[in-house]
Structures are given as structure tokens and as C-alpha cells.
Amino acid sequence: MRRAIVTTTATAAGVVLLLSLKPHGQTASAQAPVISSGSDTSSTNSTTSTNSSGSGAGGSAAASPSAGPSSSTKAVGGSSGTSTKASYTGQAVDTRYGPVQVRIDVSGGRISKIDVLQYPDEMQRDQDINSYALPVLNQEALSAQSAQIDSVSGATYTSDGYTQSLQSALDQAGLK
Amino acid sequence: MGTVFSFVVRDPSPAVDEALHAAVARLHAIDARFSPYRADSEVSRIAHGESALADASPELVEVMARCAEIEALTGGWFSPYPEGRLDPSGWVKGWAVEQACELLCEAGSTEHCVNGGGDVQSVGGPWRIGVADPFRPGELASVLVGRDLVVATSGTAERGAHILDPRTGEAPTGLLSLTLVSSGPARLAHTDACATAAFAMGAEQGLAWAGRQPDLEALAILPDPALPKRATSGFLRYAV
């Protein structure tokens, strides 16, 4: 099983735990438009590869070793204002429905934005599902950092690829 | 499952910090036993006939008893055999979140909120829980506020067996998503399983059934954006 990720803000401690349970085969998938969530809409991202497999482009922060449930809960946030910003692209992860890849923007030790660069959309139903479920997952991952909303309820489909790609991006960012 | 669990803790302390890790470990342990996607889980071994339900662990026996209660309460619209094969995930996910909350409570936390794949159990508060809008990705259809708030949503975006009508094996129609809201400790497994059942019932029957439950309120989003959202009469007391 994979890792726990802990992010801490000034007022709340938020943890995103990624459970990645579903075995998956590999299917090809067309490139899909980017799904984005987060307050930061400026474009400071480094160029990213949307090819499948391998670590994507990323910023300069040191990669974090993987952390298991026994890892420490580390405060990485709490700062505000003019901190540096960087983006990290997670690995493209093959799922039974096709590859999923996310990119995160990190500002002041917090995730400010999550883009879904690749997701399966071969069938209309895939598009319908993904255009809803992936933003819900993004909202969930970001909601712990929002002052307005504490959490988001919504129907999500199995998100193995999403969680793995997000984990890989967080590892690169040194967030845990 | 294969989903995202997130925790928000408003009263962090070293003890709660430790409990967070215990909660994570507990979630992994529940997953190892109950995941239908792991060939070596107890649920998979029984589903594949490699082991008998009669020899099940006390934990699985307990889960099956709770599933049977929901099955009776919902007139068979919830089933731990959604595709004819053992898969109690519709109960287990919410129950796993409840277990995580319990560990945090035991460590002294009185202010936390745990989200398991879009289903939320909160303790303390008031908490503000958004309901995702199926028509506007990234936007909210509603915001609910309350103490010990419990919110579960079922919908067509779920790709799990548990949204099939257990009677016909078909996907239900007439609803895009159905959200049930409740409040109180350890309420999510019940609320989530009821949301699954009410979604399978469809708009009319699902709303009517939810309206008869003394402890549940419902918000239904219909498959046409021109149609208004529908809710049970008590839903508005939670909505902002």
C-alpha cells in the first residue's frame, strides 16, 4: 500500500490519504483537455510531458522519500504571502480505463492548484464521468486548504491513477 | 475502492497526530480485508469460492449483519451482493471513515472531518460541506452547514457495482446524483448505504423513501440541467 500525505495549514491540519486498491490493465487513450481546480490560474508551470510513464517535469524542490503510515506528520505550510511557487507533474499512471496524470502547483508549502493533464475519454461515458469525477477529486484534495469549504461530497469513480499520479507529484514537491 | 481519504483536524495535538497515523493504518487494514479488488482479501476469497462465509472473521460477520439491516430498511435496494457476488463496499467505505473518526476521538480530538471518496463524517463544528455540481465541474451545487454533519452522495459518476439496481443488475436512470445528509456520530456508513439504495430507486421513489426516514434529508440532481434540483422538506435547514 502507499503513503500518507500530510499537509498542515495555519488553522487546520489536513491529510490526504491515498488508497490505491484497484488492479488495472493498460489501454490507450486520446489526449484530453486539462481539468483544473484551484485558485491559482496564473501560468508559471514548467513545460510538462504528457507522454505516458516516467517522472514528469518538475520544479527544483528535493524529492521526498516515500512515507508510510508510520511517517511523521510534518507541517509544511502555515506561511503565506510571497513564497515561491513551483509546479510538479506526477507520473502518468495507466489504469484499466486509460492513463491518468496530474500536475500540482505548490505555493508557500501548500497545493494551490491541481491540473489533470491526462484522463481516459475514449467513450462519451468516460468523458461524462471524468468531467465530473476528476474535479470532485481535485476539490477533495484542495478543500482542506480552503477557508470557505471544509470538505466536498460527490460521487467519484475509482481513482487509482489519480491518487498515484498525485502522490508522485507530491513526492517531487517534498510535501508529505 | 481506490479512492482518496482526506482528514481535516481543527484541534491538532501530538496525541491526535499519532491517532492520524493509527487511522491511516486502520484504513489500510480494512482495505486489506474488505477490498473486492485485492485477490487475497477475505471478501475476494469468499466471492471466488475459495473460502466460506460460514468461516468468516468476526469483523466480516458484523459487517454482513449491518448490511442485512440496510437491505431490510431499503426493501432490498441495497445489497452486499450487488452483482450476485459478495461485495459489501457500499457499507465498508463509510464504516472505515467512522473508524478513523473514532480513533481521532479517542485521542481527544473533538473537531475533525474525514472524507472518504466524497462521503463525509464530521465531528464537532459547525462544518461547511460542499456538494459537487454534476453539471459544472469544480463548482458546488449546494453548501451544507451543521455540527456533526454527515453527507453522502451517490451518482452516475461512480463506476462501482454498487450503483446497479440489485434487482435488475442495471444502472438506474432518472437521477444524476443523490445526496443524503444526516448528523450525529458514526452515521456515515448508514447514510452512505442509504444513499446508494435511494439513488438506485430513482428520483421519485428515492426522494419519497428518504423523506420517510426520520434521520435523513435528501437532495436530488436530475439528469437535465433545465430541471430544478429537488429536496426533501427538511433539507433546507442544512443548506446555506
Q: What separation in angstroms does the CA of B240 have from each of A36, A112, B127, B191, B235?
A: 26, 26, 11, 21, 10
- What's the whole-number mean pLDDT along residues B16-44? 92
Residue B61: CB partners within 8 Å, gap ≥ 6? Answer: none
Grid coordinates representing A90 are: 506526477
CA distance B8 to chain A (A): 4
For position A65, what pLDDT does the model report? 30
> A149 — phi, psi (to 5°)?
-125, 135
pLDDT digits (tens, 9 = 90+) for B147-156: 999 999 998 7
* pLDDT confidence bin for B222, thresholds 50/70/90: confident
What ipTM was reported for this prediction?
Answer: 0.89
Separation CA B51–CA B88 (nearest Å): 16
Determine contact: A13 vs chain B, CB below 8 A.
yes
For position A104, what pLDDT does the model report? 82
For position A18, what pLDDT does the model report? 39
pLDDT digits (tens, 9 = 90+) for B44-58: 999 999 999 999 999
> B103 — phi, psi (to 5°)?
-65, -40
Separation CA B35–CA B86 (nearest Å): 11
Position B75 pLDDT exceeds 70 = yes
For position A134, what pLDDT does the model report? 61
Q: Do B1 and A144 touch (CB under 8 A)?
A: no
Residue B176: CB partners within 8 Å, gap ≥ 6? Answer: B134, B135, B155, B156, B221, B222, B223
Closest to A4 measured CA to CA, from A13, A17, A14 = A17
Domains within chain B, CATH numbers bracketed: 5-237 (3.10.520.10)
Separation CA A154–CA B117 (nearest Å): 8
Determine contact: A86 vs chain B, CB below 8 A.
no
Per-residue pLDDT of chain A (176 residues; tens, 9 = 90+): 333 333 322 223 333 433 332 222 222 333 445 555 554 333 222 222 222 222 322 222 222 333 333 222 232 333 333 457 888 888 887 766 677 788 888 877 677 777 778 776 655 555 555 555 566 666 665 654 554 778 888 876 545 667 677 777 777 777 65
Closest to A131 measured CA to CA, from B139, B49, B180 = B139
CA angle B151–B153–B158, rounded 5-degree value: 150
Q: Which residues of chain A have a CB within 8 Å of the CB of B9? A: 12-15
- Residue B235 is given by DSSP the state G
> A159 — phi, psi (to 5°)?
-130, 35
**Pick from A14-28, B185-199, B211-225: least confident:** A14-28
Choose from A5, A151, A163, A176 for mutation: most chain B CBs within 10 A.
Answer: A151
- What's the whole-number mean pLDDT along residues B97-114? 97
Position B73 pLDDT exceeds 70 = yes
Determine contact: A102 vs chain B, CB below 8 A.
no
For position B117, what pLDDT does the model report? 83
Q: Strand, coil or helix: what is A87? A: strand
Grid coordinates representing B106 are: 479517542
Do A86 and A173 meet the contact criterion of CB atoms below 8 Å apart?
yes
Hey, how many other C-beta atoms are within 10 angstroms of the C-beta on B213?
A: 18
* pLDDT confidence bin for B99, thresholds 50/70/90: very high
For position A71, what pLDDT does the model report? 28
Separation CA A148–CA A145 (nearest Å): 9
Q: Do B21 and A18 touch (CB under 8 A)?
A: no
The pTM of this model reads 0.69
Separation CA A169–CA A58 (nearest Å): 8
Q: Which residues of chain B have a CB within 8 Å of the CB of A98? A: none
Q: Strand, coil or helix: what is A176? A: coil
Residue B83: CB partners within 8 Å, gap ≥ 6? Answer: B161, B164, B169
**Pick from A126-135, B56-65, B83-92: least confident:** A126-135
* pLDDT confidence bin for B14, thresholds 50/70/90: very high
pLDDT digits (tens, 9 = 90+) for B134-185: 777 667 888 899 999 999 999 875 544 345 556 665 555 678 899 999 999 9
Higher pLDDT, A29 or B216: B216
